[in-house]
Amino acid sequence: MSTFRPELSFLAYSRGEPAGQVLCHEYEAPADSGEGRDLHVALVGTLRAYRKRGIASALLVRAMAKGRASGFATASLGVDADSLTGAVGVYEQVGFAVEHSWITQEKPLPS
C-alpha cells in the first residue's frame, strides 16, 4: 500500500505557469526485510513546451534529496522503456538504474 507524500512532491513554474511536476508516494517495506522506506516516484511530467530544459531532472533531484533527509532508504519508479520522451535517459541521468524489465502482451478478444 502506498501513501501520497505531498511534502515530497513538487511543481515547477515558468513565468507563473506550471511547467513540470513530480508526485511521490511512500512504500513501507516489511519490518523484517531490512530494506527501509521507499520513496516511489508515481508521476513525472513536463509540458511539451518545457521539455529538454532539465526541469524533470531538477524536480527528481529535489524530491530524492528531501526524501533522503526524511529518512527514505531508496527511491523507485516505473517507466515505459520505449517512451518517445526519452524518460529512461532522464532517470538514468539522476542515478536510477534498470532493475527489472518486462513485456506486456495484449490480444483483443472477438465478440
pLDDT tens by residue, 52-100: 999 999 999 999 999 999 999 999 999 887 878 888 899 999 999 988 8
Q: Please tell me the chain's helix, strand, coil percentages from 3-state DSSP, rounded to the nearest 5.
A: 30, 30, 40
12: pLDDT confidence band, cut at 50, 70 and 90? Answer: very high
Pairing verdict, β 17-28 and 10-14: antiparallel
> The pTM is what?
0.84
For domain 2-93, which architecture applies?
A: 3-Layer(aba) Sandwich (3.40)
Domain boundaries, the chain: 2-93
Q: Specify the pLDDT at position 105.
A: 87
